[in-house]
Every structure is written in structure tokens, then in C-alpha cells.
């Protein structure tokens, strides 16, 4: 029976979800014991799902672990229908998140009859696309073996690269892992001809978890969990940059309406945009419809279709510099980036002065679309709180953005623009900031922090640094 994510998704409302990447039970060779610990003051119920690489699975529900209790069971007696055979991963589900779990995997054909290795369970929310196995020993008669599990909804294309003492790759191995299934193989099989110790870099276009085993000449095992690695990709920044683009579009739309309601030359750079401003309306100082129609390229150089509708109420008059409050509503608004379409809904609150053209954007919008890099369909929930000030022929912006990515797992991007180093927009010169820095925090199974520096001196690039790793990102290409 193929487990896929259909079986897993039935447990997504539960508070605790863990994975034991590999458990073995084979007559005369391997035996395993599973332990579950309850760290709360109430009894909990646990469900375990074992899944083999070929998709064969067995579910055991109703396991009771008393308050502060320690439950242990032999895998062979728990998953009776699987019997003796190849290893399997074990999913652990509970209504409580105050659990821990581990497995003891033993070689039974040694002189002791019980040569063990230990590994603890990892949370499914820790899954990510990039991992390291720090040490894969090589010795004559011994073997090392990586184990990977795809917890995503789609097949994961995975590349393993082995690095030796010289720093030059010793070899590369690729595979595709089906949703919900584990993969295990020896280094001898994955990297034929490699006869030295190495470390493994694991890169995937899906969400995976993993571990590794090393065996001595007696086939006695040791185990180690994979550690997360941040391999920076421009695509990872796309949700944050799309939030910036929408905030910039909203800001410029509002600034243009307040500074000079008759001057929409920049908006007309996209020929299908229709603008209707009504300053004579007593109830609403400005109503504007920025309509991209069936679609064209916006002032930021991004494809848009649909409309953003502006409605502002005044406090005072334009002559006295009265303050205004209102909102921008995304109406069937579509943005294209990375070859995909995001359908955006929501609204942004706007307030500011008609005299100084200083204003604040705040609010949230949600985008839905496909994400090719992760081969997932999901949504982005974006929020922005940005202060924008008109400074002669440019705009100064500072504040913070946040983007939550929901695709069957959770990831987030947050950016802070300090007032001491604001983003400078000179729209006549460049659709992107010409200087300024965003302080970035990202979470994709592994935390990363760094910055996006727009002070490169051109209109096409920014330098992104995360966890000490820097990459020059070509900004227009983010949306191609």
C-alpha cells in the first residue's frame, strides 16, 4: 500500500509529528526497539506508521503513554504485518507536542547478539531541502550508508555529493524519492570507486529528513542524524521580494495620487493600466482604480493583471496638508514571477499627509500559486509595515516585512529595514532600491540570518548574505 501524503495528512491537525528515519527488523541480522517518552502531566495517545522504501506500510494506533511515562516496544512485535525484511521509517503522531522518541537498531549476528546504535526522532517541521552528513568513514571491510526520507507531497529529486580531503568532489549521485517514502543505500553502491572518507552534501527540490549509518568489519552499526545546511538559492527570497514589490507598487500608487493626482505618467508606462481619480467626492477624498486589465508589465518591471483599488478619506484639506486614511484592495490581482502566477487577495492600510507625502503602509495579503523550486502548491501570507517619506525626487522607506509560506509545511521570511539605513527608491532611475539594507531572518527547516544589500551601484543586483554565505542576486531575474 502506498502511503503518500494522504495517510500523513490525516494527522496534520495533531500537535506532535516526528520521524524515526530508519528502523530495521530482519531475522538473524537486525532487530530494533522503539521508545516513546511522555513529558507532560497527562496521559497521551500515540499513533505509529511504518513505511518501507517500496511503499508497504503498517499503522498502529491507540498506543497509550502515561504521564511522564516511558514506552518501549520491539519493532518486530509492533509491526507484525511487515514481518522480517528491509528496513522502514517510522512516523510518530500524537495530540501532544511534549514527547520524545528514539530507536535502538541492533546487529544480532555478532558475538554479543546485540550490537546497538541509537538515534532520536526528528520533528517533521524540521524538514528542509539541504542537509549535511558530516562524516562518512571508509575502511576496508566496513561501509557507510545514508538514509533519506521525503516527507513532502511530491517526488523529491535529490543529489548527493561526496567531498574528500582535497575539497574536490569525489563523486555525485542522484535519485528520486517518492512522497512519504524512505531511501537507503551504501556509499559503495552510490559512489563506485570512492575509497576514502568523506562528508556528504545533500540537495533536494523537496522537503527531506535523514541520517547515516556506519558499520565496522563485524557489521556492527553506529548512527548519526543529518544536520541542516543553508544552501542559498535566489528562489528562496522570492516570497520576500514579491512582498517588497507589492508594497512598492502600493506606495507609489498612493504617492502619485497624493502628490499630483493628474500625473500618472509612470502608471501609463504599462499601457493597459486605467486610472480614475475622483477628488470631488465629498465622502472620499480620493478613489482610484489602478487596473492592469488582462495584464502587462508594471512600473517595477513585474507582470501584473487585475486591479488595485484605492479609497482614501481626508481629515482637513489638501491646502492645509490634512491627513488621509484609507486602504488599497487587491482585486483579482495576479503577479507573475519565476514562471508562475500568484493570485493575490487582501488589503493594505494607508495613511499619511497630503502636504509632505509621508505615509505608512500596513496590512496583509495572501498569495496562492505553484512554486517550481519546491514542486509544491501553496500560499504566501505577507505582511508589511513600512514608513515611506518623500525626499525631493526619491522615496525613503523603512519598517518590516514578513512572509509565511504554507505548503504542507511551514517556512517564513522576515525582513527589517532600519531607519538608519533605509531603502532608497528613485523610480525615475530604477524600479528597485538603489541603496539600503534589509536584515533578513529565514526559516526553512533551519534558521538563517543575514542581509540583502541593495547598494551595489546598479539597478539589477543585490548582495544577499545568509549565515555568512554571500550571493549576488539578479533582481529582474527573480520574476522572469
CB within 8 Å of 103: residues ≥ 6 apart: 20, 22, 23, 32, 33, 34, 35, 75, 90, 118, 119, 121
Q: What is the pLDDT of residue 307?
A: 81
Cβ 402 vs Cβ 412: under 8 Å:
yes
> Looking at per-residue confidence, does 133 or 195 come out higher?
133
* Mean pLDDT across 296-303: 62
Q: How far apart are CA 388 and CA 234, in angstroms?
A: 26
Predicted confidence at residue 4, as pLDDT, reads: 34
What mean pLDDT do residues 249-269 have? 50
Cα dihedral 19/20/26/30 (nearest 10): 180
Average model confidence (pLDDT) for the chain? 79
Just give the CATH number of 6-228.
Answer: 2.60.290.11
* Interval 354-371: pLDDT, tens: 555 666 766 666 666 544
157 vs 401, more confident: 157
Cα 180 from Cα 51, distance rounded (Å): 8
Distance CA 138, CA 198 (A): 8
Interatomic CA distance for residues 214 and 216, integer angstroms: 7
Listing DSSP states for 212-238 in one string gives: EEEE-TT--EEEEE-EE-----GGGGH
* pLDDT of 85 higher than 90: yes
- Give the model confidence (pLDDT) of 208-240 as tens digits: 999 999 998 888 999 999 988 866 666 667 667
Q: What is the pTM of this model?
A: 0.67
Q: Is residue 206 within 8 Å of 149, Cβ to Cβ?
A: no
Q: What are the boundaries of each domain within the chain?
A: 6-228, 234-478
Average pLDDT over residues 296-306: 67
Higher pLDDT residue, 370 or 151?
Answer: 151
Amino acid at each position: 500500500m502506498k502511503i503518500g501524503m494522504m495517510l500523513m495528512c490525516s494527522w496534520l491537525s495533531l500537535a506532535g509529528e516526528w520521524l524515526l528515519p530508519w528502523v530495521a527488523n530482519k531475522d538473524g541480522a537486525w532487530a530494533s526497539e522503539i521508545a516513546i517518552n511522555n513529558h507532560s502531566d497527562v496521559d497521551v495517545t500515540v499513533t505509529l506508521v511504518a513505511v518501507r522504501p517500496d511503499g508497504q506500510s503498517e499503522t498502529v494506533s491507540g498506543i497509550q503513554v502515561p504521564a511522564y511515562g516511558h514506552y518501549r516496544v520491539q519493532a518486530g512485535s509492533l509491526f507484525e504485518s511487515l514481518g522480517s525484511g528491509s528496513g522502514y521509517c517510522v512516523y510518530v503522531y500524537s495530540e501532544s507536542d511534549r514527547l520524545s522518541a528514539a530507536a535502538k537498531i541492533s546487529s544480532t549476528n555478532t558475538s554479543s547478539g546485540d550490537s546497538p546504535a541509537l538515534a532520536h526522532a526528528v520533528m517533521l517541521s524540521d524538514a528542509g531541502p539541504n542537509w549535511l552528513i558530516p562524516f562518512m568513514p571508509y575502511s576496508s571491510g566496513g561501509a557507510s550508508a545514508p538514509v533519506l526520507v521525503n516527507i513532502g507531497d511530491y517526488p523529491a529529486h535529490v543529489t548527493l555529493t561526496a567531498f574528500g580531503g582535497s575539497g574536490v568532489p569525489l563523486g555525485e549521485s542522484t535519485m528520486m524519492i517518492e512522497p512519504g517514502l524512505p531511501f537507503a543505500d551504501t556509499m559503495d553502491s552510490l559512489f563506485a570507486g570512492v575509497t576514502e572518507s568523506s562528508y556528504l552534501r545533500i540537495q533536494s527540490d523537496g522537503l527531506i529528513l535523514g541520517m547515516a549509518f556506519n558499520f565496522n568489519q563485524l557489521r556492527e552499526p553506529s548512527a548519526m542524524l543529518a544536520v541542516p545546511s543553508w544552501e542559498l538559492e535566489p528562489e528562496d527570497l522570492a516570497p520576500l521580494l514579491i512582498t517588497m514589490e507589492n508594497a512598492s507598487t502600493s506606495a507609489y500608487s498612493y504617492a502619485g495620487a497624493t502628490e499630483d493626482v493628474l500625473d500618472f505618467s509612470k502608471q501609463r508606462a504599462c499601457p493597459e493600466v486605467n486610472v480614475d481619480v475622483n477628488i470631488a467626492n465629498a465622502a472620499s477624498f480620493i478613489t482610484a482604480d489602478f487596473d492592469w486589465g488582462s495584464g502587462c508589465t508594471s512600473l517595477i518591471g513585474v507582470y501584473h493583471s487585475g486591479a488595485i483599488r484605492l479609497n482614501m478619506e481626508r481629515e482637513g484639506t489638501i491646502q492645509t496638508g490634512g491627513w488621509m486614511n484609507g486602504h488599497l484592495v487587491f482585486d483579482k490581482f495576479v503577479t507573475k514571477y519565476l514562471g508562475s502566477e500568484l493570485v493575490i487577495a487582501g488589503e493594505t492600510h494607508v495613511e499619511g499627509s497630503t502636504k509632505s507625502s509621508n505615509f505608512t503602509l500596513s496590512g496583509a495579503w495572501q498569495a496562492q500559486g505553484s512554486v517550481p523550486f519546491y514542486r509544491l502548491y501553496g500560499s504566501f501570507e505577507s505582511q508589511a509595515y513600512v514608513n515611506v517619506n518623500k525626499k525631493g525626487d526619491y522615496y525613503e522607506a523603512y519598517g518590516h516585512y514578513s512572509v509565511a509560506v504554507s505548503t504542507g509545511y511551514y517556512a517564513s521570511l522576515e525582513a527589517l529595514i532600519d531607519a538608519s539605513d533605509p531603502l532608497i527608491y528613485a523610480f525615475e532611475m530604477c524600479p528597485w532600491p538603489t541603496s539600503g539594507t534589509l536584515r533578513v531572518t529565514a526559516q526553512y527547516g533551519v534558521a538563517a540570518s543575514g542581509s540583502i544589500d541593495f547598494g551595489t551601484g546598479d539597478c539589477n543586483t543585490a548582495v544577499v548574505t545568509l549565515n555568512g554565505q554571500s550571493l549576488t542576486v539578479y533582481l529582474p531575474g527573480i520574476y522572469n
